[in-house]
């Protein structure tokens, strides 16, 4: 009896070790690499060119700082006074960026999946074509989205809107985050339960009950310059390509629509 019990216990332990091994390995695998960093940090340490980025790490920039990151075939650029976290996409090839403060510019050159989450808003390129976009958090209840090249699909709560190339929209989420229990990927089933929210009281604009208000059309030269700055390895792309405005107040973690 004792021998049989010991054999069963050994099998259980062996199975458990196999089940947890892939998870540990995945956590130790770099998600991306830093292409350029100036006055930027990962948690409390300085961020340096060539450093690896791991899923869920807090990446921040100081006043006058910037950080350019490559994840697979996509690029992300944090402007000055910005904070974000990056995760792998759970379904298929790609990445998810969670912007908590400031401005994030992103560029996708192929069919890699990209999604940017800011407050109650989710932004992703339309289709599989190359796309460059920018998201700025002015306050927890006021965010701008600009499509520099390609079209963007933007979801705010129950409302979905297409931001066409060279268009810029102000988006007013219905609620903002007031506290964060823990940071998990926006693709995680537990994401919605990881924080609590507060209703936004921002007055509706002249477009009625829509959360989207068109605020401008960027010129072709400006859009091209923003894309070039994002791709330039040593440029301070964060503060130079801010077509959607400068970063404002922040939010700890966005709400999942």
pTM exceeds 0.85 for this model = no
Res 220 pLDDT > 70: no
pLDDT band at 183 (very low <50, low <70, confident <90, very high): low
Which of the residue ranges 38-47, 107-116, 177-186, 235-244 has the most confident prediction, judged by mean pLDDT?
Answer: 38-47
Instruction: Give the residues across from 121 on adjacent strands.
Output: 118, 156
- Give pLDDT tens digits for 192-210: 655 576 788 755 554 557 8
What pLDDT score was predicted for residue 188? Answer: 57
| Strands 45-46 and 52-53, bridge-based pairing | unpaired
C-alpha to C-alpha distance for 133 and 242, rounded to whole angstroms: 10
Token pair 């600009």 is found at 146
3-state secondary structure 204-244: CCCCCCCCEEEEEECCHHHHHHHHHHHHCCCCCHHHHCCCC
68 band by pLDDT with thresholds 50, 70 and 90: very high
User: Which pLDDT value is given to residue 234?
Assistant: 36
Quick: pLDDT tens for 12-36: 444 333 333 333 334 578 999 999 9
The pLDDT assigned to 65 comes to 97
């Amino acid at each position: 009896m004792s021998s049989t019990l010991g054999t069963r216990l050994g099998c259980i332990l062996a199975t458990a070790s196999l089940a947890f091994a892939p998870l540990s390995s995945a956590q130790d695998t770099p998600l991306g690499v830093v292409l350029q960093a100036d006055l930027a940090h990962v948690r409390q340490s300085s961020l340096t060119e060539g450093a690896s980025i791991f899923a869920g790490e807090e990446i921040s920039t100081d006043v006058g700082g910037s950080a350019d990151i490559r994840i697979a075939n996509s690029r992300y650029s944090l402007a000055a006074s910005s904070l974000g976290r990056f995760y792998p996409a759970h379904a298929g090839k790609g990445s998810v960026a969670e912007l908590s403060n400031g401005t994030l510019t992103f560029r996708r050159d192929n069919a890699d999946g990209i999604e940017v989450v800011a407050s109650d808003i989710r932004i992703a390129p339309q289709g599989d074509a190359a796309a460059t976009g920018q998201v700025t958090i002015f306050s927890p209840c006021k965010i701008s989205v600009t499509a520099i090249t390609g079209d963007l699909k933007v979801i705010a709560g129950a409302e979905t809107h297409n931001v066409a190339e060279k268009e810029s929209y102000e988006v007013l989420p219905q609620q903002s985050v007031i506290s964060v229990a823990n940071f998990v990927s926006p693709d995680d089933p537990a994401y919605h339960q990881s924080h609590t929210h507060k209703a936004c009281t921002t007055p509706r604009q002249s477009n009625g009950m829509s959360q989207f208000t068109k605020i401008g059309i960027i010129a072709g030269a400006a859009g091209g310059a923003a894309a070039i700055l994002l791709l330039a390895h040593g440029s301070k792309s964060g503060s130079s390509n801010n077509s959607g405005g400068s970063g404002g107040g922040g939010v700890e973690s966005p709400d999942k629509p």
